[in-house]
Every structure is written in C-alpha cells, then in structure tokens.
C-alpha cells in the first residue's frame, strides 16, 4: 500500500469517527421534545378500584389523633366525620413525583434523584365511608424529569425512557387494601394500592405504600412509594466511562396535596390549612 492510499484511508477513518461520534452524541445527549403541555388529570372512572378492608396481621391501618401542629381552625366544629362523595385533584403547584436510584459517578457513590411537578390524578372518596375510595389513573410527564446533571437528564430522556415516543408514565390502580372506616381532619391512614405501572411500552404490576392525612374536608396530603426493578422495564443505562455502576432498584415516589374540586366542596366558611410534604413523606403545616 503506497503512501497516498494510506493517507486516504486515514482521512476516511477520521471522518468516519467524527460522524459516528456526532451521531452517538446526538443519540445519547441530543435535544429531546418538550412537554406537549401542562399535564391534566384523567377524570376518575366509576368503580375503577376495589377497596379491601385491612386484614389483621397483614395490613395495618393507622388513624391517629390530630397532630399538635394542625391549626385549631381546621378542626373547629368537626367532631364527626364528614360525609358525601368528593373528588380531590392533585395540585401540581404543591406536589411532585420523583425517582431515586444508586449511582457511582467518578468513583463517588450517590443516590440520584429525579423530580417533576408534572404529576396528575384524582381521588374520589366519601370521608364518612372510606370503603368508597376510588383512585383514578396517575400520570407523570417523563419529559419534565430533572436531576442535578443536565447530561444525565438528556441520557434519561433519549436512551433510557425514550420520552420523544413515550411522554407519560402511568399507574392504573386496580385495588386498594387496608382502608376502611371513616376519617376526620387530622387523622392519618396507611394502606396499599395495587395496579399496573406503565413505563415506555412495558406494563407490570406494582404496589404502592400510601400514607394520607386528612387536613380538612377539602384537602388531603400524603405520599405513595414503590420500589421496582430496572430490568423489569428494560431500562438500560448507556455505557459512560465516568459511571462505574448503577443500581437495579428504583424507588418511585409521589408527594402530593389533593384539593376538592369546587363543585364538590360544602358551602361552609371553612378555609384550607396550607400544607406541604417533605421528601421523607412527613407532613408540615402552616396556617391557611
């Protein structure tokens, strides 16, 4: 092979490497589609979930006395459980969905957390009869999930969740276990919701552990969490030199405030007690 041929092959190789590198960069870290719009709750359907009372020794239901930090005006005049079906809608401005996964980046172990406020869903319940509880489809816009590193965000959207094709992650409840009795403001309940979790085009059964506190007749605050296996949903992590290891367990959480829709509220002078949920699932309050 003469010198000219070797030079030509070398130039061709460099060009090919540049093109391949550009393609790989765009494939993993290129721009992705923005959210198609603000997320909207799917109206809760009649009887979408089955409510099963708690079983002694299996599921425990907690109904505690009002915690000291609940404002007195929230409880005034509410010695008996309220009654009547109401629809509570998750508030995007007060709620968030997040995932947590273990990662070793540049030799440093850390828990990566991705969050978004684009979570939507409805809850229908008669606080005087918790067996009536129905939970609608919960949606999370995967295009809006963000972590603390932009390149990781792009890799998640491009290669892991493929958000250009699969914008929403959904959980369709099928059964509520361990919820019964009635509820008054200040009480806390723990139960489980079983349903179908869809990530991209893969649907698997999942169970969320739920904690809900009744703040008032018109507001619920709580958290729901589940741990899934990354491999079950074929969530393959792109090979990156700086990332040595990524965990198999993925923890999914929703920290929510759900407010009664206007047409479901009682005609009363009761105001809302403003509330928020911490990342640990603890409820904090401030006067409304």
Helix (H, G, I), strand (E, B), or coil: what is residue 249?
Answer: strand
What is the structure's pLDDT at 262?
84
What is the structure's pLDDT at 77?
44
The Cα-based distances of 127 to 65, 143, 186, 208, 223 in angstroms read: 16, 35, 12, 21, 18
Task: Choose among 232, 229, 225, 228: nearest CA to 192.
Answer: 225
Q: Give the C-alpha separation, 224 to 194, whole Å.
A: 11
What is the structure's pLDDT at 7?
55
**pTM of the full structure:** 0.74
What is the structure's pLDDT at 286?
33
| Mean per-residue pLDDT pooled into runs of 10, the chain (288 residues) | 58 46 44 91 78 49 37 44 85 98 86 97 97 97 96 93 97 97 97 98 98 98 98 88 82 98 52 42 35
The position carrying tokens 């552990």 is 209
What is the structure's pLDDT at 4?
59
What is the structure's pLDDT at 245?
85
What is the structure's pLDDT at 244?
66
What is the structure's pLDDT at 105?
77
């Amino acid at each position: 092979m003469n010198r000219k041929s070797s030079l030509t092959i070398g130039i061709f190789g460099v060009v090919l490497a540049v093109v391949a590198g550009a393609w790989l960069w765009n494939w993993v870290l290129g721009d992705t589609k923005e959210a198609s719009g603000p997320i909207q709750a799917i109206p809760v359907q009649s009887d979408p979930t089955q409510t099963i009372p708690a079983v002694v020794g299996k599921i425990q239901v907690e109904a505690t006395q009002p915690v000291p930090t609940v404002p007195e005006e929230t409880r005034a005049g509410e010695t008996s459980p309220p009654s009547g079906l109401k629809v509570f809608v998750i508030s995007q401005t007060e709620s968030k969905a997040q995932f947590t996964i273990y990662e070793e980046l540049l030799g440093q172990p850390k828990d990566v957390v991705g969050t978004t406020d684009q979570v939507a869903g409805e809850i229908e319940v008669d606080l005087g009869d918790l067996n009536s509880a129905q939970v609608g489809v919960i949606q999370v816009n995967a295009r809006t999930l963000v972590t603390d590193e932009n390149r990781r965000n792009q890799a998640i959207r491009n290669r892991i969740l493929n958000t250009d094709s699969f914008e929403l992650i959904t959980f369709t409840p099928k059964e509520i276990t361990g919820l019964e009795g009635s509820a008054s403001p200040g009480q806390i309940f723990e139960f489980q919701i079983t349903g179908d979790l869809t990530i991209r085009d893969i649907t698997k059964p999942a169970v969320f552990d739920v904690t809900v506190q009744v703040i008032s007749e018109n507001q619920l605050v709580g958290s729901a969490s589940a741990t899934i296996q990354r491999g079950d949903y074929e969530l393959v992590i792109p090979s990156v030199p700086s990332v040595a290891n990524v965990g198999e367990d993925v923890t999914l959480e929703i920290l929510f405030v759900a407010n009664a829709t206007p047409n479901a509220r009682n005609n009363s002078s009761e105001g809302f007690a403003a509330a928020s949920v911490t990342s640990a699932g603890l409820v904090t309050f401030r006067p409304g």
